[in-house]
């Protein structure tokens, strides 16, 4: 509930700081509580002075199995779907989502393993089997995921790179500063104490590819980064059927 209300507060801040307020054209708000923002619905005589949307912005938790029932939704944003315990909640809400023009739905999440409803929807979207558009966002290229270094520090760090780090750096075209941040994060508390190899935790929380994002939980014998890379390569290799004569 706390996370859901934090999202509603965020939406409220967007509304409060909307620059259209200065131009008197921002839709007026009727009222707000801890679970809902309600926009005004003035009659046609007041509408020029009090533009309204006649709509609601509601938040609910993924434990609320009645969420979306008896509603018709035009916009829907589901957060951290990979952690939802009840798949029927998502089914209920998606059934309430209108299929009319202008309708939008967003399912976002950290991957949390190659299983569950979020993974199933993602795989079907990648394969073009459903109406969703798969979008993967990496940490690569973002300024906050770099460790600033002097020219001398870069030279020293470059000579300390492991074979695996060199492979990752060349494959994904990462800078030395990005590689330094990656190493510090893997060796730091963010990737410790989760019953997994810290490098696998990093791949799950800060993936460079969608395949890395869906690494499984628990300790694994094989390097999951290598497995993910081989799996992606196998999908790109055309299937050939034939006969081998001995």
Kindly report the number of other CB atoms within 10 A of residue 176's CB atom: 17
Cα angle 207-208-213, degrees, rounded to a multiple of 5: 35
pLDDT, tens only, 104-150:
999 999 888 788 899 999 999 999 999 999 999 999 999 999 999 99
Cα distances from 118 to residues 58, 186, 215, in angstroms, run 22, 26, 14
Name the least confident of 67-71, 145-149, 161-165, 211-215. Answer: 67-71
**pTM to 2 decimals?**
0.71
Confidence (pLDDT) at 226: 64
Q: What average pLDDT is seen over the chain?
A: 83
| Cα–Cα distance measured from residue 162 to residue 209, given in angstroms and rounded to the nearest whole number | 21
pLDDT, tens only, 144-196:
999 999 999 999 999 999 999 999 999 999 999 999 999 999 999 999 887 78
For the residues of 38-103, what is the DSSP string, one character each?
Answer: EE----TTTTTTS-----EEE---TT-TTTTTT--BSEEEEE-GGG-S-HHHHHHHHHHB--STT-
Higher per-residue pLDDT: 19 or 221: 19
pLDDT, tens only, 75-92:
899 989 988 888 888 888
Confidence (pLDDT) at 219: 47
| Cα–Cα distance measured from residue 174 to residue 168, given in angstroms and rounded to the nearest whole number | 8
Say if residue 54's pLDDT is above 80.
Answer: no
């Amino acid at each position: 509930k706390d996370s859901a209300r934090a999202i509603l507060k965020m939406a409220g801040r967007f509304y409060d700081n909307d620059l259209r307020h200065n131009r008197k054209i921002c839709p007026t708000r009727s009222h707000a509580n801890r679970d809902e923002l309600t926009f005004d619905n003035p009659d046609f005589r007041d509408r020029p002075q009090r533009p309204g949307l006649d709509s609601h912005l509601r938040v609910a938790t993924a434990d609320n199995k009645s969420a979306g029932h008896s509603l018709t939704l035009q916009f829907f944003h589901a957060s951290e779907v990979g952690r939802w315990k009840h798949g029927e909640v998502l089914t209920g809400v998606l059934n309430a989502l209108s299929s009319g023009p202008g309708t939008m739905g967003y399912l976002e999440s950290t991957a949390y393993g190659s299983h569950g409803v979020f993974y199933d929807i993602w795989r079907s979207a990648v394969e073009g089997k459903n109406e969703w558009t798969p979008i993967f966002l990496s940490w690569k290229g973002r300024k906050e995921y770099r460790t600033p270094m002097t020219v001398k520090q870069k030279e020293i760090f470059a000579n300390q790179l492991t074979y695996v780090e060199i492979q990752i750096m060349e494959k994904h075209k990462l800078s030395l500063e990005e590689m330094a941040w990656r190493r510090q994060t893997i060796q730091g508390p963010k990737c410790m104490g989760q019953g997994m190899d810290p490098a696998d935790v990093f791949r799950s929380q800060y993936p460079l590819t969608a395949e890395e994002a869906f690494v499984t939980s628990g300790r694994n014998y094989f390097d999951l980064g290598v497995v993910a890379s081989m799996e992606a390569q196998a999908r790109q290799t055309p299937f050939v059927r034939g006969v081998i004569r001995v």
